[in-house]
Structure 1
């Protein structure tokens, strides 16, 4: 489960950057909405998977609510899931 959480953390971060750094400008500046829909759906699924896996891993590893809250906040900030993967998940 920890490997899945690590992979999801990285993929969620990539999808976040792709959504807001690539497809949103394409949608609003170049009027090309197609990629935004696809990447948006993928990001939504990865976001939910990240939160669910964070909850399961925190419960399984007995890490506590503080670390889960850190993971939750990280899911909302650009680049933060990469930080979580590096700081918290590589040592686990």
Structure 2
């Protein structure tokens, strides 16, 4: 379950960057809206999955409210899901 959460955190971060860094400029500057819709849907699904998995894993592993709150805030900020994945979800032994 933790591997799924790690993958979701990374994919949510990528979709966030793709949405606001690539497809939004395409939509508004180049008047190409199609990629924005597709990436927007994907980002929405990944965002909800990240929040749901945060709550499920947080309660299962008895995380503190502070840690769950950090993950919630991370879902709203660019690059933050990469940070929490690296800091909180990586196995201790990377060997």
Range class of TM-score, shorter chain:
over 0.9
Map Cα deviations across residues 16-51 of structure 1 (whole Å, 9 max, x no partner): 000000000000000000000000000000000000
SS at match of 1:78: coil
> 1:91 Cα deviation (Å)?
3.9
Q: How many residues align?
A: 92
Q: TM-score, normalised by structure 1?
A: 0.97
Q: Partners in 1 of 2:60 and 2:5 — Cα distance?
A: 12
- Residue ranges of structure 1 left out of the alignment (5+ in a row): none
Q: TM-score, normalised by structure 2?
A: 0.94
Runs of 4+ in 1 over 2 A off after TM superposition: none
Alignment RMSD, CA only? Answer: 0.9
